[in-house]
A and B are shown apart, each in its own frame.
Chain A
């Protein structure tokens, strides 16, 4: 508690408050733009935070993060085409509400629900993260190794519709992660000293998210503009409030635990929240035509899961969503290494960050509710300018890392890879996580085997490691069973691959 108060003291200085406001504004503005989800928002805005000192940068970053999330849900309510999978459910009822002339209420319940869920989620994060970090700090390299393998496996095999494509993405990511000289010898550098330090993850993330997306859209640009629903001042009537508050809380209860799990993500809890609200509602006739519960619950679940994601990220250093992966990259760029020692080593920074999550959340509500009509105008930006702008800022971001045309070239090549991945339905997340976790996996394995002087049995010598492997085995069995039950089964592939 005391530490958190100190955190607030750090975050509430005028300078840092200003950075938080700038962060929220930038995050929302970029997040609202069609085609730009939270992960891309965060990746594109990374360079802006480079030269700011770490504590301010983290605070600005918290603002960008929450702003980007909120901006994304605005887009999916006002245009019926969600930018990322986590707001698919929001769009279901949200866009119907908007079409029925209740856009203001939909935006209001989304914003206030996000605030409620974000605040509760951050409280839980503050309570949980230090305790989990205390537990995790006692774990040895074998357990870390196991947890990372589980995270990779879960992100790849549990999420997404095609496991084969998940593994394709994962191993392409691991191959990119091999590049460099971390093991003392140059791997996959093709003799180029520019590849000796590996490929900057910022370049990989910006290329796969921004360039890949822009190229993919360019190949399929809608010739007919989408209908955008005009928005007035967001407000909610008394009955809207009374119909919203329970879904907010239930959504939070779904979202946070899923977010905190290594394979949670936001898709499952938003969907669960939607079904629950649909079952519990007193207005079943409105579902499918714009029921406010169907916006309030999933939006809260989405934001709570985003807060939950920060638990493994801060306490273990494990990113489980694309956005969390980019946040990890950002922190590493500030010279910080999230993980069990992180909280003890940088208490001011961590508590400053946690405090600024609360502040960013509150700012979001204060700034965004009155400004909603203005944000909605951003949706009308001409598409050529929008995508030209994305390419422009993505190039600027990649170039500003080292001022090297070589990075721009890499950006282009990886951007084409991102385009191909969208064409072939290959998920982006396993690739990014593979690039980040691949080298760490190798490091933990090396540490573990060094301590045991090469004895492989050390890998299952710790109870936590054994538990994790059992969980993985159970997941595998569950997957095999569910694919056997279905009519046209092709069960062998995933077992072979993951073995």
Chain B
């Protein structure tokens, strides 16, 4: 808490409440409680173990709960987060959460299918899919680049670096 964020330039000294921050505070509370419950469930360590396994858990959990309260209070008092800027980030527009959700869906498919289909196929799908979601409109080219990348990296890791990434469904073909 510094004074910087208590007086954000765009807030005219008053009630700009960043409601989403309550969500973050709630998340911290949940994490803190989970850590505390987990710590409470541990058996006592050995007699010669001066730091009990639950000690750090209790400390971390308690502080997380405390931080969540502090954050909620700060939010209520008009504390606004300073969003991170970057080279390709345009904060003047609103946030486009639909794109993020689509990326998440693609990623989920990747996680669920990678053991079965293997990196070569899933990697190509990941590249082409995310490029499409991010605004590329040349599907054939996207797929071609994705396939080239995933097959090259697979061979590069397998042959060049000696890291045998499982081939999945293409086992024997690659």
Contacts and interface: CB of A to CB of B under 8 A. Distances in A.
A75 interface: yes
A1 interface: no
Given A163-B2, A388-B131, A446-B49, A216 B57 contact: no
Interface residues of A, number: 88
Contacts of A165: 81
Contacts of A217: 86, 88-89
Given A51-B161, A185-B43, A423-B20, A396 B86 contact: no
Interface string B35-63: 10011001101101111010011001101
Given A183-B53, A392-B127, A424 B97 contact: no
Contacts of B28: 168, 172
SS class of chain A's interface: helix, strand, loop or mixed? Answer: helix
Nearest to A173: B60
Interface string B50-84: 11010011001101101100110010000001111
Nearest to A450: B50
B151 interface: no
A189 B171 CA distance: 33
Given A187-B38, A221-B96, A385-B136, A392 B149 contact: yes
B91 A175 contact: no
A82 interface: yes
Nearest to A88: B85
A493 interface: yes
A425 B64 contact: no
A422 B84 contact: yes
Interface in B5-26: 5-7, 20-21, 24
26 contacts: A47-B161, A47-B163, A81-B88, A83-B87, A164-B1, A172-B31, A175-B31, A178-B60, A221-B89, A222-B89, A222-B90, A223-B90, A223-B93, A387-B130, A387-B134, A392-B126, A392-B149, A395-B126, A408-B110, A446-B50, A453-B50, A486-B3, A488-B6, A490-B2, A493-B1, A496-B70
Interface of B: 1-7, 20-21, 24, 27-28, 31, 34-35, 38-39, 42-43, 45-46, 48-51, 53, 56-57, 60-61, 63-64, 66-67, 70-71, 74, 81-91, 93, 95-97, 99-100, 103-104, 107-108, 110-112, 114-115, 119, 123, 126-128, 130-136, 142, 145-146, 149-150, 153, 157, 161-163, 165-166
Given A175-B35, A183-B45, A490-B74, 18 more contacts: A47-B161, A83-B86, A171-B64, A175-B60, A175-B64, A184-B45, A185-B53, A218-B103, A219-B95, A219-B96, A220-B89, A221-B134, A384-B134, A388-B136, A391-B103, A392-B126, A408-B114, A409-B111
